[in-house]
Structure 1
Amino acid sequence: MARTQTNGSAEKNAEKAYADLEMQIATLKSDVAQLTSTLGDFAQAQKEQLGVAASDSIDAAKKLGIAKAEAAQAQARDAVAGAERAVRANPMASVGFAAGAGFLAGLLATRR
């Protein structure tokens, strides 16, 4: 009879251990689900933050590009205006310079 009591208490201990294990597994599943949710929220926040930073960088680059293009246009206009003033001030020298440049370009083109 002692054996049946030992087996009975062993079964109760096994059932209790099984129930404890099931509870721990359920807790672990809950913790993993919560961790997954937290990581998802963190990834979404990072994505939004990177999107804002990228947008700001693009806007800054666009503004800088526009400013550089406007500066280049102004410099080109100034160069054209300076050349025009030089031609108007010295028309004969300008014609001679243009003729000489054309002659050199012709020589270089025919030497191939």
Structure 2
Amino acid sequence: MATATKDKFTGTTTEDLAAQVDALKADIAALTQSLGDYGRTQSAHLAESARASGEAEYEHLRSKVADLGNQAEDFVVQKPGVALGIAAGIGFLAGLVISRR
């Protein structure tokens, strides 16, 4: 074990330096813990914010799709001949694309 020697200029001993190093280690450990806690808190906050935003966007898109479905249904009811012609055209084009593979 090291013996305590005193610096003749500053009056500091090796034990004093060892105690200061130990205090510095404890401070760094506490700072690391605080930064970790802060990071976890911020990530949880951001995750919750992103989830809420995603849910709101999902609901908005779901209502848009429902509106488009209602518009398509109304179009088919109002103009069944045109709707049948469009469906036949899309089917014909899909058949051409699939048969060329």
Aligned position for 1:83? 72
CA contact (8 A) 2:5 2:14 kept: no
Aligned pair partner of 1:41 in 30, 51, 55? 30
Shift of 1:34: 0.5
TM-score with structure 1 setting the length = 0.78
From 17, 25, 31, give the equivalent of 2:14.
25
Structure 1 stretches (4+) deviating beyond 2 angstroms? 18-21
1:20 Cα shift?
Answer: 2.3
The Cα of 1:19 is off from its aligned counterpart by: 4.5
- TM-score by length of structure 2 reads 0.85
In structure 1, how many angstroms separate the alpha carbons of the residues matched to 2:5 and 2:93? Answer: 99
Q: Which residue of 2 aligns with 1:14?
A: none
Given that residues 6 and 13 in structure 2 are in contact (C-alpha distance below 8 angstroms), is that contact kept between their aligned partners in structure 1?
yes
Q: Which has the higher contact order (CA 8 A, sep 6+)?
A: 2
TM-align CA RMSD: 1.5
State the shift of 1:111 in Å.
2.3
AA matched with 2:6: D
- The whole-number CA distance in structure 1 between the counterparts of 2:61 and 2:36 is 37
SS in 2 for 1:20: coil
Q: What residue identity is the alignment partner of 1:53?
A: Q
Aligned counterparts of 2:36 and 2:83: Cα–Cα separation in 1: 61
| Matched residue, 1:11 | none
Q: Percent same amino acid at aligned positions?
A: 27
State the match for 1:56 in structure 2. Answer: 45
In the alignment, residue 67 of structure 2 is paired with which amino acid?
Answer: D
Unaligned 5+ segments in structure 1 are: 1-17
Bigger Rg, structure 1 or 2: 1
Of 61, 66, 75, 1:72 maps to 61
1:101 is matched with which residue?
Answer: 90
